[in-house]
Structure 1
Amino acid sequence: MAGEIPDLIAEARTGTGKGAARQARREGNVPGIVYGGGADPLAINIPFNVLFKRLKDGRFLSTLFNLKVEGQEDVRVICRNVQRDVVKDLPTHVDFMRLKRTSKVSLFIPVEVVGEAECPAIKKGGVLTMVRPEVELRVTAGDIPEQITIDLTGLEIGDTVTISSVELPAGAVATIDRDFVIANLTAPSGLVSAENEADDEDAPAADEVPAAGDEKE
């Protein structure tokens, strides 16, 4: 099931070179280029505020966008480079690559949790900790999943959910080549505190511990 791909609206930029790029910045835009996909490069402008917000949202370099430019067909793109001002660290130029539906791309996919009602650990007051609320997968651009699903049914306190226990969408693979943890189930903090207190009570007091060399009577 393909996920919703966010739109990124830009306008075609007339003229190329440093002069046209400086003019775009004066007008509140960030100049960019779209290349690849068997088509000619397309010079574009993106409103600075729009691009800046996208960058602040995170995952910009691993998000697939539906690029909309008036007079052009919509195309799926992924950012390949963001140039920044060396002093202000603000975006000054951006490069996008066109993707075909069969192209492979690495994206962060959100994790959905099911089976909480049938999870013994949760029923006992256990705490679910999401180590990775998103997992980076290499997927086909034309078949991007909305999420991957982890099932807590039957899991006890102390259990973990790793990537090997997840059924990934057809054609998708994790970008990390090891069996990493996605979530774990831990005891409630109150129970942990009580156990620690019990351990402290069982331990001998400092004045009860015989000093080295003391003889037993």
Structure 2
Amino acid sequence: MSTVEVFKVQIRPQTGGGASRSLRRSGMIPAILYGGEKENISLMVDPRDVEKGLHQSGFYSRIFELDVGDKKEQALVREVQFHPVTDRPVHMDFLRVRKDSKIHVAVPVHFLNENQCPGLKQGGILNIVLHDLDVTCAAGSIPAELTVDLTGLEIGAIIHTDVLQLPKGVVISHPDRDNTLATIVAPKISQGDEEVAEIEETATTEEPAVAEASKES
């Protein structure tokens, strides 16, 4: 299950568009904590902490502890907004949760034992369709990850969500959708490879004819 980690936040002294722009110029970005039938709290965070978290698996499915004034709040990262040009984070949303809160969350899917997969050993390619899977569960029971064992799978295999061993209390949020996780496909043959194969095949079929002509002469 996901562990609770501390995320550094500070209460934002001012709100509004002008204050947010000024905050970004100072090197921080605005954030908000909402939900849980409590008042929204305007926060500010260090964008370097956000970027660090974004490079870690399960950033959006991890419960964080926030020190908000003299209180501690537990929350999930619900959204990070990015600058359209620089692609840097410019705003962040936190959702309050309790351990027994039922929530929808995207959990990362990891694929194991590639070295024991005959299809990949034969040159096949693992085509991942879903890197994350939407599940519903209590906030205190969010899996850190979901794993798929590739052992024994051949080229042409289609991996569906029914192979997953879901923890107790965790269900797929949209079971009616096509929840294909991945497929193992044959390697693509480039046009150059096809041309080489055709030349080799032509040369092979012409050799007997050349040999026969030599005998007749």
TM-score range, shorter chain: 0.5 to 0.7
Q: Note if contact 2:34-2:94 (Cα within 8 Å) is conserved in structure 1.
A: yes
Q: Note if contact 1:157-1:187 (Cα within 8 Å) is conserved in structure 2.
A: no
Percent of aligned pairs sharing the same letter: 22
Q: Taking structure 1 as reference, are residues 8 and 52 closer, same or farther at Cα in structure 2, changes over 3 Å only?
A: same
User: Deviations for 1:30-87, whole angstroms, at most 9, x for unmatched residues?
Assistant: 12221111222212111233335555x3989944440422532141222246375x77
**TM-score normalised by length of structure 2:** 0.66
The secondary structure found in structure 2 opposite 1:44 is strand
Q: Note if contact 2:58-2:144 (Cα within 8 Å) is conserved in structure 1.
A: no
Unaligned ranges ≥5, structure 1: 206-217
- What are the residue-to-residue correspondences of 1:181-196 with 2, within 5 Å? 181-184=181-184, 186=186
In the aligned structure 2, how far is the partner of 1:10 from the partner of 1:174? 31
In the aligned structure 1, how far is the partner of 2:153 from the partner of 2:89? 46
Corresponding residue of 2:163: 165
**TM-score normalised by length of structure 1:** 0.66
Corresponding residue of 2:81: 82
The amino acid across from 1:158 in the alignment is: G
The amino acid across from 1:152 in the alignment is: L
Q: Note if contact 2:2-2:61 (Cα within 8 Å) is conserved in structure 1.
A: no
Corresponding residue of 2:201: 201
In the aligned structure 1, how far is the partner of 2:122 from the partner of 2:51? 42
The amino acid across from 1:139 in the alignment is: T
Shift of 1:97: 2.0
- The structure whose residues are more often helix, as a share, is 2
Unaligned ranges ≥5, structure 2: 206-217
Q: Note if contact 2:157-2:184 (Cα within 8 Å) is conserved in structure 1.
A: yes
Corresponding residue of 2:135: 138
The secondary structure found in structure 2 opposite 1:21 is helix
Aligned residues: 197
Shift of 1:5: 5.3
The amino acid across from 2:167 in the alignment is: P
